[in-house]
Amino acid sequence: MTVTATQTTPDLYPSRVAPEPILAERRDPVLHGEPAGALSRYQRDRFEADGFLAFPGFFSGDEVRELQREAERLRNLDELRGRDDVITEPESDEIRSVFRIHRTSEVFDRLTRDPRILAKAREILGGDVYIHQSRINYKPGFRGKEFYWHSDFETWHVEDGMPRMRAISCSIALTPNYGFNGPLMLVPGSHRYFLSCVGETPEEHYKESLKKQEVGVPDPEGLETLIELGGGIAVPEGPAGSITLFECNTMHGSASNITPFPRTNLFVVYNSVENALVEPFSGQRPRPEYLGERGEPAPLEPAA
């Protein structure tokens, strides 16, 4: 690892440096803000304990249909193919992900600033937030690939230079999440530990890791420990329009999908404006902006 001269922020969560994985206590609060009415006392407690909150059927039928139409439109937009921020399946040409949907689509821009979601993000993160990353994932039926366990924060810290754990993801389901169509699986309580990974980060790792993650994955023993500590695996199910808020360090993954039922999800990552990116802790060049927004963060305003 080469540490560049520009890295002046202390590394509270070193990863991919030690020869063995280390399971350490989290060094940041989970709830950064005081109660502000966006979450109930019970929801705050659950988020603090579990590292996620599921809201089945959050969006109404009309809202969901508008989002689904927009997702289909993007998927068939020929001008998107070949763009850096559009990812295709390893073994086919199908679009798997489109990044930066809050800049590519007006509908999704408004969605990311939905007042109900934004208020929750602000309460959890304690004040102004901006979008670190946004994307839509199309997981096709029949041949949808698995996505191995990972902590997003581990990658964002090492490869993007996110200094602290003060970000959350919002997953928005545009198709029903069943137990059998490769749904998001989370390890409750795993956000309260930092499990460092082993192995150096290859140059331009993101080009491969978006298709299949090999570096930055937890070791089996560490994962087993987290599951024992937290008491299992949670699989939020629900109709299209359900949302799940999860902490940036919550361990998650998904199995393959051999059913005909595709799974389309939007992801929006909210980061505190006080947690803006510094130089990557890997010492390497930062990943492209569509994976982690850099520069002076502009606080999000709720959509009208």
* Binding footprint of a second copy on the chain (CB under 8 A): 141-142, 146, 148-149, 178-180, 182, 185, 220, 223-224, 227, 233, 235, 253-260
**Closest CB to a second copy among 18 and 180?**
180
Complex with a second copy: residue 178 or 211, whichever CB lies closer:
178
**Residue keyed to tokens 């990943």:** 287
CB of 186 to a second copy, least distance (A): 11
Cβ contact 192:250 at 8 Å: no
Distances (CA, A) of 126 to 43, 274, 280, 298: 16, 10, 24, 15
Closer residue to a second copy (CB): 239 or 286:
239
Q: Which is nearer to a second copy, 116 or 143 (CB)?
A: 143
Q: Give first-to-last CA distance, the chain, whole Å.
A: 47
C-beta of 90: minimal distance to a second copy in Å?
14
* Minimum CB distance to a second copy, residue 95 (Å): 18
Minimum CB separation of residue 294 from a second copy in Å reads 32
Residues sharing a CB contact under 8 Å with residue 228, sequence separation 6 or more, in sequence order: none
The distance of closest approach from Cβ of residue 57 to a second copy in the complex, given in angstroms and rounded to an integer, is 19
| Cβ closest to a second copy, residue 167 vs residue 223 | 223
Q: How far is the CB of 220 from a second copy (least distance, A)?
A: 5
Shorter beta-carbon distance to a second copy: residue 200 or 224: 224
